[in-house]
Amino acid sequence: MNAASILLRRKRVGFCFVAFIVLLGTRDASACTCVGTAPEQAVYRADIVFAGSVSAIRDDSNDPWPEVEFRVEEILKGPVDAVTMVLHTPNRGGTNCEGFDFDLGKTYLVFAFARASTQPPSYGVNMCGGTTPLEARGGRERVDQILKMVREQAATGEPPRVGMVGPRKIKDVAPVWPVQAAGRSGRFLVILELAVDASGRVSDARVLRSVPPFDEAALECVRQWEYTPTMVNGAAVPVTITVIVEFRR
């Protein structure tokens, strides 16, 4: 698990959040694959949960863990007085699921994890842990849902009991190498976010990490994918998942 250091000052509040269940799917066994994570489970597993915008990214060529500095907007779990946090995290997409692709100026909900055996104590994120960009719509209501989870878990000290099955891909369509890249070769990873409805069909797709000119080819194939319905406590529910489409030749 990757690492981060924390700078603590005073608390700031106010942000928007999109509830989520995360799945990472790939075209190739060489890429990271995650099973679904319910929000209750993501909250329980994380050492720190906060919302914040990326204020600086410092990439030292001699350090494999670039620094990503956040201006904290609200702490949901962890040190309540923190206003600045600095993560050390590589770009995501590797076989060990480490890291996340953060963009300068963008706001995220971050689920950070303590890194074992580091002095001073440090924290980081991985792409299966729940970290996600924050959208502008429906924020406060969803924030309150997460806060409720945090408070309930703090009161009981028990892991969440969430019965969840799926989603599992049942129809796969391979991406087509784009004509615009006819003269190129290598390995290219496009990361996308999919909205999967309760029946398991992809209802929407957007690119999270762009690799021109492969984006449109990636979108075209994932829109044809189908999944088993995601069942939470016996009911089929829509989910948001993250997938990697790999192009290689």
The structure's pTM equals 0.58
User: Once rounded to an integer, what is the mean pLDDT over residues 183-197?
Assistant: 92
Domain boundaries, the chain: 3-19+37-156, 164-248
Same fold, 3-19+37-156 and 164-248: no
**What's the pLDDT at 163?**
64
- For the domain made up of 164-248, the CATH class stated in words is alpha beta
Output the DSSP codes for the chain: --EEEEE--------------EEEEESSTTS--EEEE-HHHHHHH-SEEEEEEEEEEE--TT-SS-EEEEEEEEEEES-TT--EEEEE-PPS-STT-B-----TT-EEEEEEEEPTT-SS--EE-BTTTT-EEPPSSSHHHHHHHHHHHHHHHHHH-PPP---EE---EEE--PPPPPGGGTT--SEEEEEEEEEE-TTSBEEEEEEEE--TTSHHHHHHHHTT-EEPPEEETTEEE-EEEEEEEEEE-
- CATH topology (fold) of 3-19+37-156: OB fold (Dihydrolipoamide Acetyltransferase, E2P) (2.40.50)
**What's the pLDDT at 23?**
34
Per-residue pLDDT reduced to its tens digit, 37-50: 677 778 888 889 99
